[in-house]
């Protein structure tokens, strides 16, 4: 007789309790001995709780370490160089979420940060925390995408140092580059109104790979863009400028004529340190 609202609940006897316990054990044993083909058979009655690895949807498998794309196809191999670099850079940025100083830009600040870390002075021997967020090959067209996560999630820094634009000189017209710099500096100022923004001049190169004009024309364009960057940063609010004596005649470059060698990187780090001291940057 089905139990109604007014019926008294019957307490199961010891015999029925033991019977249910044996039945439960039988079900669990059957699950363990069931073949994988049987577990994956379409139309089989789903268990209340599936065991690990049984019928896990692709989006849940990816959370357990298997990389899949949104279309269900396997993602890029774990062992590929690009994936390792991206994961390493992402992890590095997450670990530096509360930095007092952000150093942003292309491969020049990237290798400067590497040099600082390798020589045990990642904070330039100052009482502050510096985040080295240079990105090899970065251009102004990708600048916002490279920093927006930090802008949204990290503690606002006291200082932002930008050294960017050398890669754009060979590919963008001056007017286009000018508008890009203006837009991105305005974005930073609106997002981080209390930060000191420091423009680090685009460094002269011994060779401008990919340039269609000569070295002299590229040098004139570099100087004009540096003047534009200084102006927009200076007019945005609290700011400073870093000018360097590193030029094509010095022996501070690697054989490619673009990147700085160890001596050049040491000079570069000294310029950064002097600018931070000049602006009285201390730890929070």
In this structure, what are the phi and psi dihedrals at residue 271, rounded to the nearest 5 degrees? -60, -40
> Is the pLDDT confidence value at 59 over 60?
no
Q: Over range 144-164, report the average pLDDT.
A: 94
CATH of the domain at 239: 3.40.50.1110
- Same-domain status, 105 and 226: yes
Given 95, 117, 150, the domain boundary residue is: 95
Say whether both 119 and 91 belong to one domain.
no
pLDDT tens-place string over residues 80-95: 344 445 445 544 554 4
Q: Which residue has the tokens 């780090």?
A: 269
**Strand 239-242 versus strand 159-163 pairing type:** unpaired
What is d(CA 101, CA 97) in angstroms, rounded to the nearest whole number?
A: 10
Please report whether residue 39 resides in a domain. Answer: no
- pTM of the full predicted structure? 0.68
Q: Answer yes or no: do 186 and 260 share one domain.
A: yes
User: What local confidence, expressed as pLDDT, does residue 239 receive?
Assistant: 97
Asked, for residue 136, whether it belongs to a domain, the answer is yes
Output 279 or 72, whichever has higher pLDDT. Answer: 279
Mean pLDDT taken over the chain: 77
Evaluate whether residue 242 is within a structural domain: yes
- Residue 221: CB atoms within 10 Å: 21
Same domain, 133 and 84: no
Same domain, 78 and 159: no
**Which contiguous run of DSSP H or E holds residue 224?**
helix 215-236
Question: Does residue 253 sit in helix, strand or coil?
Answer: strand
Please say which residue of 49, 79, 95 terminates a domain: 95
Tell me whether residue 63 is in a domain. yes
Number of structural domains (the chain) is: 2
CB neighbour list of residue 67: distance below 8 Å, 6 or more residues apart: 74, 75, 76, 78
pLDDT band per the 50, 70, 90 thresholds, residue 122: very high
pLDDT digits (tens, 9 = 90+) for 176-227: 999 999 999 999 999 999 999 999 999 999 999 888 889 999 999 999 999 9
Residues 114 and 251 in one domain: yes
User: Do 90 and 101 share a structural domain?
Assistant: no
Q: By C-alpha distance, which of 170, 243, 259 is closest to 206? A: 259
Percent of the chain whose predicted confidence (pLDDT) is above 70: 65
pLDDT of residue 128 exceeding 90:
yes
Query: Do 85 and 188 sit in the same domain of this protein?
Result: no
Instruction: Write the Ramachandran bin of 148: left for phi over 0, alpha for psi from -120 to 50, otherwise beta.
Output: alpha
- Residues 230 and 168 reside in one and the same domain: yes
Domain shared by 73 and 166, yes or no: no
* Final residue of a structural domain among 46, 77, 95: 95
Do 89 and 135 reside in the same domain of the chain?
no
Q: Is residue 2 part of a domain?
A: no
Q: Is residue 12 situated within a structural domain?
A: no
Domain interval for residue 191:
97-278
User: Which has more pLDDT, 137 or 65?
Assistant: 137
Residue 33 falls within a domain, yes or no? no
Q: Is residue 1 part of a domain?
A: no
Q: What is the C-alpha separation between 260 and 244, in angstroms, rounded?
A: 13
Same domain? For 228 and 134 the reply is: yes
């Amino acid at each position: 007789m089905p139990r109604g609202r007014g019926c008294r609940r019957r307490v199961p006897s010891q015999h029925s309790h033991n019977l249910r316990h044996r039945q439960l054990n039988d079900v669990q044993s059957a699950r363990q001995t069931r073949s994988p083909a049987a577990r994956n058979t379409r139309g089989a009655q789903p268990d209340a709780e599936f065991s690990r690895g049984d019928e896990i949807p692709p989006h849940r498998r990816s959370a357990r370490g298997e990389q899949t794309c949104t279309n269900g196809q396997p993602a890029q191999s774990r062992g590929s160089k690009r994936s390792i670099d991206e994961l390493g850079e992402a992890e590095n940025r997450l670990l530096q979420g509360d930095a007092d100083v952000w150093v942003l830009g292309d491969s020049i600040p990237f290798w400067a940060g590497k040099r600082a870390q390798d020589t045990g002075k990642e904070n330039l021997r100052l009482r502050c925390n510096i985040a080295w967020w240079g990105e090899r090959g970065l251009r102004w067209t990708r600048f916002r995408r490279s920093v927006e996560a930090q802008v949204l999630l990290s503690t606002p820094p006291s200082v932002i140092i930008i050294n960017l634009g050398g890669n754009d000189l060979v590919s963008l017209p001056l007017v286009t580059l000018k508008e890009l710099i203006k837009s991105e500096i305005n974005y930073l100022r609106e997002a981080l109104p209390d930060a000191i923004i420091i423009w680090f001049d685009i460094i002269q190169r011994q060779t401008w790979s990919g340039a269609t004009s000569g070295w002299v024309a590229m040098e004139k364009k570099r100087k004009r863009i540096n003047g534009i960057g200084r102006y927009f940063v200076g007019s945005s609010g609290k700011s400073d400028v870093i000018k360097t004596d590193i030029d094509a005649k010095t022996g501070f470059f690697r054989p490619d004529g673009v990147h700085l060698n160890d001596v050049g990187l040491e000079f570069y780090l000294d310029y950064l340190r002097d600018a931070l001291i000049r602006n009285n940057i201390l730890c929070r």
